[in-house]
Structure 1
Amino acid sequence: MSKARTLADLVSAGGAMRVAELAANGTNTAGLKAPDALAADVTWKLPTADGSNGQALITDGAGNLSWGAGGGGGLSGSVLEFDQTISTSITLTANKNAFSVGPITINTNVSVTIPTGQAWLIL
């Protein structure tokens, strides 16, 4: 970039917020774009530090983003694998039940929230 830019220079209605790479490396940009339609204003709070290798950016459903395991298992052929340790807090999705294959360990300061009328079955 040849001059300092303000946030207003980087954002436009219906557009994307764009940040350029170092001028010495070219003219490419990286951007963030809102969905085309929103039911209300949305704010996501980013984590205070970078995540660890293999972690994904996850949400608590209230706009707070954190680093954690992306998903709970993997499919290999006809075998479904589950993690044995829950390392980030979980709240079951509304009107959904869940199951896990034990044994299961829940890390300290981590919670599993099961809303009324829903179930979590550990086999």
Structure 2
Amino acid sequence: MENDGVVVRVLLIDDVITAGTAITEAMHILTAAKANVVGVVISLDRQEKASVTDSRSAIQVVEASFQIPVVSIANLNSLVRLLEEDDQGASSSGLSADDRQTYVTTIKQYRADYGVQG
């Protein structure tokens, strides 16, 4: 993608990555427009398998498919750590200890069912 002879570099920014579908669709649109996508930033990596038949993470698939780096600000592991370590009287998450434990249990089960190993 050029603007007056200057190549336009694009950094994709997305809120969450699950299977990578939104990023893949955006990449097809941007590639068709001749944009030079240089990377992707995700706020939360859910650390899910790309599909039931592919044990790689969605980030690994996007990186391999488009040969671009993908970085996340936080991931499911860091969210669980935050909830588990947030045992101070005045919770920084704003949740009670019981609520935090409920979320941790639910997230861990979700990760066991759909998450990548490691």
Provide TM-score, normalisation by structure 1: 0.24
Q: Which has the higher contact order (CA 8 A, sep 6+)?
A: 2
Provide TM-score, normalisation by structure 2: 0.25
Say which one has the larger Rg: 1
Q: Report which of the two has the higher share of helix.
A: 2
